[in-house]
Amino acid sequence: MTRPAALAVPRVKQRRLSPDERRRDFIAKAAEFFAEEGFDGGTRELARKLGVTQPLLYRYFPSKEELIREVYRTVYLDRWQADWDKLLTDRSLPIRERMQRFYDAYTDAIFTREWMRIYLFSGLKGVEINKWYVGIVEDRILKRIVTEYRAEAGLPEQDPLPAELELGWILQGGIFYYGVRKHIYGSTVLEDKERVISNAIDVFLEGISRVFGTGVRVRTTAARRPPADEA
């Protein structure tokens, strides 16, 4: 890529791309494509979308399967923000606030048609990365939420009970399903995402303190401003 004397003016109509850019572009567009068509979508149609011919794909990826694996990697890994880990365990903030901030950010990252469809398609295929991701959600999100809730409520320190974790999954699944309805089913949903999340978190925290704990509550939005109606 080094050029001797001449100016560093980038070519306007650059027909040939550097392998790196090409590869990245292929993966990004392939993600869009497979999200819509499913992984049975054809390589010819994908190539048309990319503006190149089909065999060129095989210069960058040894097989369609390998390309798909790259798509998984970028979709699953690139959107996970490292600082989410710190956020949920930052005890300088009430757990209610941490949960709201986390789910606002998390859903900003995953509530796209592309992410959700690839997640569902890959889950139906039963691929390993999907199972891995589900484990990550449980360990890095739900276990932490339950643990931090227990701490703030003054409950004894211990590993989350399976039944508490399942309640966490109800919340997680409920929020996820809101995204599915909006971005995949095309349902009419309450558009105010943060309000929906806020109410779900309130219900979770108010509810868990009575189902487990002995009624020891934690500060929620509901406790601060009772009527959580919407416009």
Task: Name the residues that contact DNA, by CB under 7 A.
Answer: 1-4, 11, 14-17, 19, 22, 40-45, 52-56, 58-59, 62-65
Burial class (CB within 10 angstroms; exposed 0-12, middle 13-18, buried 19+) of 91: exposed
Asked if residue 163 binds a second copy (CB under 8 A), the reply is yes
Window contacting a second copy (CB under 8 A); options: 14-22, 23-31, 62-70, 194-202:
194-202
Residue 109 or 190 having the CB closest to a second copy: 190
Closest CA to 50 of 78, 66, 28: 28
What's the rounded Cα separation, in Å, for the pair 163 and 148?
16
Asked if residue 94 binds a second copy (CB under 8 A), the reply is no
Window contacting a second copy (CB under 8 A); options: 49-57, 93-101, 146-154, 215-223:
215-223
Asked if residue 10 binds a second copy (CB under 8 A), the reply is no
Q: How many residues line the site for a second copy (CB under 8 A)?
A: 60
Window contacting a second copy (CB under 8 A); options: 12-20, 93-101, 149-157, 183-191:
183-191
Q: Closest distance between a second copy and the C-beta of residue 50, in Å?
A: 22
Residues that bind a second copy (CB under 8 A): 38, 40, 117, 120-121, 123-124, 126, 130-131, 134, 161-163, 165-167, 169-178, 180-181, 184-187, 189-190, 195-196, 199-200, 202-208, 210-212, 214-215, 220-223, 226-230
